A and B are shown apart, each in its own frame.
Chain A
Amino acid sequence: DGGITQSPKYLFRKEGQNVTLSCEQNLNHDAMYWYRQDPGQGLRLIYYSQIVNDFQKGDIAEGYSVSREKKESFPLTVTSAQKNPTAFYLCASSMSSGGGYTQYFGPGTRLTVL
């Protein structure tokens, strides 16, 4: 059963704590992405990775960090430097990072800062 998995589905964090969101894909895709979704807004790109051991900042990278040590995995860390981290986080992947390749999304992780 191919696809993208994200865990956990719900995550609660105290202020000042770092937290890591998991994203795994078994689609053999080269490119992976992290988006943030807030109510009433479109998806905003946090980070993306075109290939293993390489990643670039998106539009709202401040307060976030990523790693891409394996093709299948692209974890996102929300650091204490992120001022307003409560949001719905979506991971996606595509065969290649070139434009025109369909991005497939995972089910998302809802992060709430207490």
Chain B
Amino acid sequence: GENVEQHPSTLSVQEGDSAVIKCTYSDSASNYFPWYKQELGKGPQLIIDIRSNVGEKKDQRIAVTLNKTAKHFSLHITETQPEDSAVYFCAASNRNAGGTSYGKLTFGQGTILTVHP
């Protein structure tokens, strides 16, 4: 099955700096890669996702890049703000899987991002 590795496990930056979180996946059939942000004591919230037919996607200060050949994808946050502090999770799934392999999301271990004012 799919295995997703996420690095780093913790990341500390100064306000205004950029933050980059990287994930690698093992199943070459995976073609959907969402990123979630989880604040303390709350459920994860989708912040951006990318499908394998594109290499990069941006949404304001957040961008995700995908390298299918190397099987890794990254989250980039520019001009970080204290409110960006949270745990970030990457995930991968196969959009075309059916039956018992329905499209299960496999999550990375999470990155604790701290943005210092």
Contacts and interface: CB of A to CB of B under 8 A. Distances in A.
Interface in A31-57: 40-45, 48, 50, 56
A107 interface: yes
Interface in B67-117: 89, 93-98, 100, 102-105, 107-110
Contact of B102 (A41, A50, A108, A110): A50
A90 interface: yes
Interface residues of A, number: 27
The bracket for how many chain B residues form the interface is 20 to 34
A100 B96 CA distance: 8
Interface in B21-76: 31-32, 34, 36, 41-46, 49, 51
B109 A40 contact: yes
A90 B43 contact: yes
Interface in B1-34: 4, 6, 9, 31-32, 34
Given A40-B9, A42-B109, A43-B89, A102 B44 contact: no
B44 A56 contact: no
A12 interface: no
A98 B95 CA distance: 6
A106 interface: yes
Given A42-B109, A43-B107, A102 B49 contact: yes
Nearest to B112: A40
